Chain A
Amino acid sequence: MNVVVLTILTLGILGTVAALVLYFVAQKFKVFEDPRIDQVEEVLPAANCGGCGFPGCRAFAEAMVKSDDISSLNCPVGGAETMSAAAGILGKEVAAADPMIAVVRCNGTCDNRPKTNHYDGATSCAVAASLYGGDTGCSNGCLGCGDCVEACTFDAIYMDDKTGLPVVKDNCVACGACVDACPKDIIELRKAGPKGRRIFVSCINVAKGGVAKKACKTACIGCKKCQKECPFDAITVENNLAYIDYTKCKLCRKCVAVCPTNAIHEINFPPKKVKPAVAPATPVKPVTSDNNPSSDNKNKEE
């Protein structure tokens, strides 16, 4: 009987003392954490991609709460919606940042850019780039090992089997992981534009025109035709390479038409209307006359 009471007493006292110690320690080392950090973190996409420049969404939420001016902060994944929601929680103003998207500035497909040698080393662009210039005559172009695809955590980029080049899908959130992963600096973040429309020079070859053209059919040869055509002074040509400033570009597409090597690309535009009304009339006829045999052929092929 005595033993039972003694045990209860001892353990009870021990427990109380420990609880007291724990209580005071907890008071002493209490860390005040702004509850708004949790709230902001809640509205962030939780992708932890690092696209904002901070290590993860939590760090970004902390930065948002701590800094007075949040105009320089932007979550590219969540976009304007998330940013205004987060700013609402904090009662701060946020300027709507333009949505960005990654573009691949190389069009050196197997057809456009003939192979000059065969690479059989490790399947990694970083390794290949540290060894040599590439398996074609263009030492600036895409190596095609897919480091960008590996880096993407949003499944927004894939390698096209036919062209051997990466293709950015419209769900790209512009986190910049592929930009960092590309050893050739081919991928660039550009303004996505209305309806995801964008125009860019799909080449980064800085060799002289003749050399670039020899290596790749659709290389930018630095002819400056687009520069002369652009009504908004958005195009500069440096080191035999044209660059379109997306802050000035109004997406008029005039440069696309004049480029002799088709190096300027337009994405998500509707097919161009054919300007003269007479022009489509002539080709229509042969199409109609050939209609039957061509459909026959198609059936045979199928």
Chain B
Amino acid sequence: MLKTFSLGGIHPPENKFSAGKKIEALPVPSQVAIPVSQHIGAPAKPIVKKGDAVKVGTLIAESAGFVSANIHSPVSGTVFKVDDIVDASGYRKPAIIINVDGDEWEENIDRSTELKKDITATPEEIVKAVANAGIVGLGGATFPSHVKLSVPPGKTCEVLILNAVECEPYLTADHQLMMEKGEEIMVGTQIIMKALKVDKAVIGIENNKPDAIKHMESLASSYPEITIEPLKVQYPQGGEKQLIDACIKRQIPSGKLPIEVGAVVQNVGTTLAVYEAVQKNKPLFERVVTITGKSVSKPSNFLTRIGTPLNNLIDAAGGLPEDTGKVIGGGPMMGKALVSTDIPITKGSSGVLIMPNEEAKRKPMQNCIKCSKCITVCPMGLEPYLLMTVSDKQVWDRAEEENIMDCIECGSCSYTCPSSRPLLDYIRLGKGKVGQIMRSRTK
């Protein structure tokens, strides 16, 4: 019997069309636009101006606080301008636009593919290198990684959990990364373990990737402290709290972080980025992006420079299909529909899903029939139907009492609702308002 998390969850059709597709490097575009806010926390501060020459890996915007991240140039060329561009949600946000000229890298980046196994850096040096490289959680949450690697005083980390679950349907970036960069991920895991001062690591992989489990198990045989944990396929297992529950059977109290139960979770993509930052001195300026969909002619996994226009990615995957209904940034469950394809790829873009018109349409909302399916599937033990009602009626104190802030926005409730009620849309609204109220109270 395979392990999984204990509460709720669903199993939507997996549709992993791009599984097994080799990671291809997408050609460098002629112009990139790099938003200064690609992570959770304070937006980075641009340190380049119009006309400045940059190389691949040059720092172009520096972290503006502890919870913030550096941003490096993904291309070489000249800065065209620092201006507002439309982001994925349709709002205009500041970005650095660079005209590409050649592909010249900073000299201190080690571009060889040779595996460097010896970890010479001290824990402090590792955290510093990760912060300098601007690494953020590549699973999609984009939380600055150096914050996670700095265990707060008074807390101890007992186990590192590597998130290789990729529970979102369609997405295969992490899967392919494990198949091709397994060795590097193993070394990356050891680096993170050294930074956290733990001697145990668990890599959680869902059972729908048997080849990855086999491959990682064979690699892990030479690392006794790393164990592979095959997990039952269940969405949203990739959520931090769910993964900890599934792997080590510990539950995080409401409003607390994983370190509370002695665990730190990192995504496999992030782990690879940590390896490259520490061993190869390579900052985070490219990532693997899955582009997929039922009518996409060439579903692929592309190694994409940050700031590449989404249109380039779509063209490389065979162009936008005629029956396109929605283009979604991320997976079908947690991703957001994009307002335009004229937006750049950011550090948080794990995938792009092109949905045919037929599937993209929402069904008209009907009345709640009190079937309680949403409660059954909620992995956080909340009552989504109630949270939707209180958010609609703007009873914010009740929403707070009902722990609306615990919602991880996995969308299981909306997915399962037989009346097609937009539960998560309203809960997101409520979370925003309650969050504001709570912040204003602590000020």
Chain A interfacial positions (CB closer than 8 Å to B): 116-117, 120-122, 124, 126-127, 130-135, 139, 207, 211
Contact = CB atoms under 8 A, between A and B. Distances in A.
B331 to A, nearest CB: 17
Given A117-B339, A120-B362, A121-B362, A127 B429 contact: yes
B177 to A, nearest CB: 30
Contact of A207 (B92, B361, B362): B92
The B interface, classified by DSSP as helix, strand, loop or mixed, is mixed
B432 interface: yes
A133 B339 CA distance: 9
16 contacts: A121-B362, A121-B422, A122-B426, A124-B426, A126-B429, A127-B426, A127-B429, A130-B429, A131-B89, A131-B425, A132-B339, A133-B86, A133-B90, A133-B91, A207-B84, A207-B92
B45 interface: no
Given A131-B89, A133-B91, A134-B90, A122 B425 contact: yes
A108 to B, nearest CB: 14
Contacts of A207: 84, 92
B336 interface: yes
Given A122-B365, A133-B89, A207-B92, 12 more contacts: A116-B339, A122-B422, A126-B429, A130-B425, A130-B432, A131-B336, A132-B90, A132-B339, A133-B90, A133-B339, A139-B91, A139-B92
B89 A120 contact: no
Contact of A139 (B90, B361, B362): B90
B433 to A, nearest CB: 9
Given A117-B339, A122-B365, A124-B392, A132 B89 contact: yes
B357 to A, nearest CB: 11
Interface in B407-440: 422, 425-426, 428-429, 432
Interface residues of B, number: 20
B422 to A, nearest CB: 4
A148 to B, nearest CB: 14
Nearest to B432: A130
Contact of B422 (A116, A127, A133, A211): A127
A135 B337 CA distance: 12
Nearest to A136: B90
B340 interface: yes
A135 B392 CA distance: 22
Nearest to A129: B429
Contacts, number: 50
A121 B425 contact: yes
A121 to B, nearest CB: 6
Contacts of B432: 130
The A interface, classified by DSSP as helix, strand, loop or mixed, is loop
A116 B340 CA distance: 8
Interface of B: 84, 86, 89-92, 336-337, 339-340, 361-362, 365, 392, 422, 425-426, 428-429, 432
A264 B259 CA distance: 56
Contacts of A131: 89, 336, 425, 428
A280 B90 CA distance: 47
Contacts of A117: 90, 339-340
A155 to B, nearest CB: 21
A185 to B, nearest CB: 14
Contacts of B92: 139, 207, 211
A124 B429 CA distance: 10
B119 to A, nearest CB: 44
A151 to B, nearest CB: 10
B425 A127 contact: yes
Nearest to B388: A122
A251 B92 CA distance: 34
Please give me the 3 A-B residue pairs with the lowest Cβ-Cβ distance, nearest first: A133-B90, A122-B422, A132-B89
Contacts of B337: 132
B417 to A, nearest CB: 12
A117 B341 CA distance: 11
Nearest to B421: A122
A131 B428 CA distance: 8
A67 B429 CA distance: 38
A219 to B, nearest CB: 14
A121 B392 CA distance: 14
Of B90, B361, B422, B428, the most chain A CB neighbours within 10 A belong to B90
Contacts of B89: 131-133
A274 B217 CA distance: 86
Contacts of B425: 121-122, 127, 130-131
Nearest to A126: B429
Contact of B428 (A116, A120, A130, A139): A130
B94 to A, nearest CB: 13
A85 B154 CA distance: 66
A124 B423 CA distance: 13
Nearest to A134: B90
Contacts of B429: 124, 126-127, 130
Contacts of A135: 339
Contacts of B422: 121-122, 127
B412 to A, nearest CB: 18
A130 B339 CA distance: 14
A47 to B, nearest CB: 20
Contacts of A139: 90-92
A127 B362 CA distance: 15
A224 to B, nearest CB: 21
Contacts of B361: 120
A163 B337 CA distance: 26
A124 B426 CA distance: 9
Contacts of B84: 207
Nearest to A122: B422
Nearest to B327: A117
A56 to B, nearest CB: 17
Nearest to A128: B425
Nearest to B339: A117
A121 B361 CA distance: 10
A135 B338 CA distance: 11
Contacts of A211: 92
A151 B432 CA distance: 20
Contacts of B365: 122
Of B91, B339, B340, B392, the most chain A CB neighbours within 10 A belong to B339
Contacts of A133: 86, 89-91, 339
Contacts of A127: 422, 425-426, 428-429
B320 to A, nearest CB: 14
Contacts of B362: 120-121
Contacts of B90: 117, 132-134, 139
Nearest to B83: A208
B95 to A, nearest CB: 14
B435 to A, nearest CB: 11
